[in-house]
A and B are shown apart, each in its own frame.
Chain A
Amino acid sequence: MSTRVPRTHPYIPNSAPQVRKAMLAAIGAQDVEEFYADIPAALRLDRPLRLPEPLGSEARLVAHMEELLSRNTAVPPGRSFLGAGCYRHHVPAVVDEIINRSEFLTAYAGEPYEDHGRFQALWEYQSLMAELLSVEVVNVPTYDGFQAAATALRMAGRATGRRRLVLVGAIDPDRLSRIRDYVRGVHELVPVPADPAAVRAALAEGDTAAVYAQLTDHDGRVDQDLPQYIELAHQAEALAVVHVNPLSLGVLTPPAELGADLTCGDLQPLGIHPGYGGGNAGFIGSPDDERLVAEYPSRLFGLAPTDVPGEYGFGDVAYERTSFALREEGKEWVGTAAALHGIAAGVYLALMGPHGMREIGATILANTAYARQRLASVPGVELPDPQAVHFADFTVRYTGERTAAEIAEALLARGLHGGTPAGADEGRYCVTELHTRADIDRLADALEETVK
């Protein structure tokens, strides 16, 4: 056999020498260099890129990647107590089956005439999410929950024409960082403790666009004063923007039912793998109020008839959204964000149904309560807020001599991932529906050995 057969790269069919030659001949060109005639010589890279040698075959690539992956530890769910914005929940096999379909995974931005399925799946996502949030409008997902919060606040700013944003309670510092970056120069952030009196005082200064509060805060605490914040916001003619963990809404009241104007959060808990933080996606929901709809930068799909009676299609609602903004400072943008995660969340909600969402919420509430109770029974461990109700996340305080960092390290040595330091003597934990009582007891036992 000849060994002269070219090793044409499988991803680049027309790089086969004879194909390239024939195509150049068809165009009437001598060399591909002719197509680069407009690039001045001074800008041309005069050497090959200095990159590692290519791996040459799919088999070698797999081996190389295996070597890298082998240095990652996929922790069994019962031994991971990490949460705080990214969660290990069960991902139903049907969700993975759907979002790994080539038709969805590799599509982009076609018309409904090629991509009816994408439009319907995303419209259904909006609709399923709308039931969960108890709203009538939900956007096609934005990048992540950070962006959803930041955009919801800018929307409130445009809708009210006001400057101040009152932020209530313990907020993920990374999310706060994103918000700060996104509203810089346009809005003033006024962080206040989770206390209606503090919110009232902040609102008294006037010019408040929004009160931003959380149904469950960064520590997983259900904020029982939420209805008051919403009422105070409305009394000040500000909007109430409320952040939620969507997985809690089978058991907790959707803020919209308490009067929240904008509800936002991250979709990741709804059937999306953590992917080292790559699984996040943001949602925003609101009542079907024209003035709020006008301020969404995102796509909003709507149901519409077609030329054929009895047939429906989908398209963009309010394609040319006219802002009612009093102080137009730019209306953000719409672009590639996280649509496939929206489809995943839709499939997840369809599988779970009303009862599944209620059950999983109840299980997580119970497991969280049990874990808090059990860990607090360990000498040297106490709860900063023993009366509170928590969902998934919670923080404990260590009263012994060992620091939170030392304790986390000691747990890790026992194969347990958790206790992320939140200050020198506090550690973060998270339990989900995946944890058994035995898992939680094991953690408590390990803490008993560790906390001194």
Chain B
Amino acid sequence: MTDHQTSGSVDPRIAPKPALRRFHQARWDEKLIFELGTPGERGVLPPLPEPTVTAAVGDPAELLPAALRRSSPPALPELGQQQVLRHYLRLSQENLGADLNVDVGQGTCTMKYSPKVNDTFVRDPRIAALHPAQDASTVQGVLELVHRLEQLLKEISGMDRVSLQPGAGSAAIWTNVSVIRAHHAARGELEQRDEIITTAFSHPSNAACAKTAGFRVITLHPDADGYPDIEALRAAVGPRTAALLITNPEDTGIYNPRIAEFVRIVHEAGGLCAYDQANANGILGITRAREAGFDLCHFNLHKTFSTPHACGGPAAGACGVTAELAPYLPRPTVEFDGERYVLDDDRPDSIGKIRPYLGVVPNLVRAYAWIMALGAEGLREAAETAVLNNNYLLHRVRRIPGVSVPYAEGRPRVEQVRYSWQQLNEDTGLHSEDLGYRAADFGTHYWTSHHPYVVPEPMTLEPTESYSRADLDEYAAILAEVAREAYEDPETVRTAPHRSTVHRIRHEPLDDPAVWAVSWRAYRRKVLGEQP
């Protein structure tokens, strides 16, 4: 460009970005993988048997009865390698990982930053390629790491032993319930102690695991202040009480100050107390399961200890117990004999296996590295900042018209808050879900709550320590904008999302057995009417 007159007419100053980003989700309009490719294309070639091997053994399948030889290959699509790569890369772009957004909207899930450096350790062949049956002498590094992580979590919880075998939080709850069952069985009281008590604001997996393990479940509902009703607990306990499974702070973000009293009441009735520490992120180094008198506790390493959520696992859970209950923990344990680390599989009272081998070792590696990067002071700083961030966001969000903060008026919240859009719902007819869908148009989202909704029109936010003040301000501004639209332009919210990969999904076919399609195969037969 040499013509000064022309270029001079373009204002070189670029207007500042607006307060809210003009987001649009990637939209590749990508086909289903079964609609891609052409017969003959190949994505990867596996090795063929060597000719001398074939010469020696022939076709081993020939030795099988015809019924056990697959008659026609599976009807998988046929694509070249780059075509497969591109398809899945496009799908990844149509997904909003926590690395890309201000992910404070998945309350109770503690969507904190998962440090990238920790991923490099688990991709190293000295973790990724290790086989669990390798001789202990060849895996001393990983055994030491698991042993050290147990010591760290013992101190963080105050418990005497910690099992790292459960695959996630609910598996850890199951493990604790199974340990409770073994404890009462060993004392000959299992038949008598068939009831487990939990609270309405504890994670529903507590009730579900207890029930699956054969217990009856008694739920305590919140009193008018949102605390679990302690008089109801007194009325509930008795000779049938096996255990109390309880979260604290509960999913409202309210810390139950009478928790030690809860534990005492259950202990006096002969029951055990298990602390669901899914919500531990605000209290690391502040208060522990030990001080409150618990017999068992569990952490979610993918929440509090930073391992990535991976679209819903693999995750990892950690169960801490008192010395009295330690014999029941899953086998094997990792022990140090003074010279080397060994697996102890000879544990006759153990409940057995919860997950193959030692659990989700790659996530144990990540969690260990995260704790080692922070130390005691860093953990406390993480907790305090998570709580500061939460109360800061609370301060911003409660001013948005249509929002309320049920229960314990004026009390601080710990690391999360369950808000309610009930007022907005009454004013506009729009539901919390509608607002959440509209939030997607701004590059974020939020979660409502578990069912049944105890708080009407709920929204649960948990900002963790990972987000900056600017991040929180942006998130609050998005919510304020969505709420403003709900009052002034409800149609936009009601029909949201508008800038997402897809529009509102029609759910009816998903509930109709005649047409629901869990697979391409089912879709072709039931919806397209093709004969298999």
Are B516 and A53 in contact, with the CB atoms below 8 A? no
Does A30 touch B at the CB level, under 8 Å?
A: no
Q: Could you mark each residue 354-367 of chain A with 1 if its beta carbon is under 8 Å from any beta carbon of chain B, else 0?
A: 11111110110111
Which of A92, A107, A363 makes the CB contact (< 8 A) with B309? Answer: A107
- A54 neighbours in B (Cβ, 8 Å): 372-378
Complex Cα spacing A158 to B199, Å? 27
Q: Would you call B377 and A48 a contact (CB within 8 A)?
A: yes
Q: Which B residues are CB-close (under 8 A) to A331?
A: 208, 211-212
Of the candidates B30, B411, B520, the one having the most CB atoms from chain A within 10 angstroms of its own CB is B520
In the assembled complex, B46 has its CB within 8 A of some CB on chain A: yes
CB <8 Å contact, A74 and B129:
yes
A135-163 vs B, Cβ < 8 Å mask (1 yes, 0 no): 11110110111110000001000000000
CB of A105 within 8 A of CB of B169, answer no
CB distance from B145 to the nearest CB of A (A): 5
Interface residues of B, count at CB 8 A? 211
Q: Are A250 and B117 in contact (CB under 8 A)?
A: no
Are A26 and B395 within 8 A (Cβ)? yes
Check: B269 CB closer than 8 A to any chain A CB: no
Q: Are B310 and A40 in contact (CB under 8 A)?
A: no
- The answer to whether the Cβ of B296 comes within 8 Å of any Cβ in the partner chain is no
A181-B178, A288-B522 known; A72 vs B139 contact (CB < 8 Å): yes
What residues of chain A lie closer than 8 Å to B142, measured between beta carbons? 68, 72, 276
Asked whether B517 lies within 8 Å of A303 as measured between CB atoms, the reply is yes
A104 touches B92 (CB 8 A): yes
Q: Does A338 contact B (CB under 8 A)?
A: yes
Task: Check A94 against B44 for contact (C-beta < 8 Å).
Answer: yes
**With known contacts A117-B91, A315-B507, A337-B313, A178–B352 Cβ distance under 8 A:** yes
> Which chain A residues border B212 with CB–CB below 8 Å?
154, 182, 329-333
* Cα A185 to Cα B379 with chains together (Å): 41
B1: Cβ under 8 A from any A Cβ: no
B362 touches A71 (CB 8 A): no
Q: Tell me how far the C-beta of A270 lies from the nearest C-beta in chain B, rounded to whole angstroms.
A: 12
B134's contact among A109, A273, A417, by CB below 8 Å, is which? A417
A2 within 8 A of B: no
Within 8 A of A (CB), among B497-532: 497, 500-507, 509-511, 513, 516-523, 525-526
* Beta-carbon contact of B440 and A113 below 8 Å: yes
Q: Does B167 lie at the interface of the complex (its beta carbon under 8 Å from any beta carbon of A)?
A: yes
Cβ-defined contact, A12 with B312, below 8 A: no
Query: Complex: how many Å from CA A231 to CA B349?
Result: 38
| Interface flag for A82 (CB, 8 Å) | yes
* Contact stretch, chosen from A120-128, A189-197, A396-404: A120-128
Q: Which of B3-11, B96-104, B230-238 contacts A (4 or more CB under 8 A)?
A: B96-104
Q: A29-B391, A84-B133, A180-B352 are in contact. Are A53 and B375 (CB under 8 A)?
A: yes
What residues on B are CB-neighbors of A412 within 8 Å? 135, 137-138
- Please tell me if the beta carbons of B97 and A106 are within 8 angstroms of each other in the complex: yes
Task: Decide: A103 and B96 in contact? CB cutoff 8 A.
Answer: yes
The docked-state distance in angstroms from the alpha carbon of A300 to that of B513 is: 13
Q: Are B254 and A354 in contact (CB under 8 A)?
A: no
CA A412 to CA B179, docked complex, whole Å: 37
* Contact-residue bracket for chain A: 35 or more
Given contacts A82-B133, A353-B77, contact A105 B48 (CB under 8 A): no
Min CB distance B205 to A, Å, is 5
Cα distance, A64 to B511, chains bound together (Å): 52
Which residues on the A side are within 8 Å of B79 (C-beta)? 350-351, 353
Of the residues B213, B371, B389, contact of A51 by C-beta under 8 Å: B371
Q: Does B265 contact A (CB under 8 A)?
A: no
Whether B67 pairs with A227 at a CB distance below 8 angstroms is yes
Question: Residue B19 at the A interface, CB < 8 A?
Answer: no
A245 interface hit (Cβ, 8 Å):
no
Proximity string of chain B (212-237) to chain A, C-beta cutoff 8 Å, 1 when within and 0 when not: 11100000000000000000000000
Given A54-B374, A101-B89, A143-B167, A307 contacting B503 (CB threshold 8 A): yes
Cβ 8 A contact of B67, one of A86, A145, A253, A300: A253
Of B318-326, B423-431, B466-474, B481-489, the one with at least 4 CB within 8 A of chain A? B466-474
The residues in A between 334 and 391 inclusive whose CB is less than 8 angstroms from any CB of B are: 335-341, 343, 347, 349-360, 362-363, 365-370, 373-374, 387, 389
A5 at the interface (CB under 8 A from B): no
Say which residue of A73, A302, A437 sits within 8 Å of B510 (CB atoms): A302
Closest beta carbon of chain B to A63's beta carbon, Å? 11
B355 contacts A143, C-beta separation under 8 Å: yes
A102 interface contact, C-beta 8 A = yes
Question: CB-CB < 8 A to B526: which residues of A?
Answer: 288
Is the pair B311, A108 in contact by a Cβ cutoff of 8 Å? yes
CA of A110 to CA of B395, assembled, Å:
25
B30 touches A307 (CB 8 A): no
A311-B395 CB under 8 A given contacts A319-B510, A350-B84, A359-B48: no
List 3 A-B pairs, minimum CB-CB distance, nearest first: A277-B357, A54-B375, A330-B211
- Given A35-B388, A278-B361, A354-B76, 8 extra CB contacts under 8 A: A111-B440, A250-B70, A250-B73, A278-B314, A329-B212, A350-B33, A357-B73, A370-B57
A-B contact pairs, 13 of them (CB 8 A): A14-B467, A34-B412, A58-B373, A75-B129, A98-B88, A175-B353, A317-B516, A333-B208, A343-B311, A350-B43, A353-B42, A373-B57, A409-B135
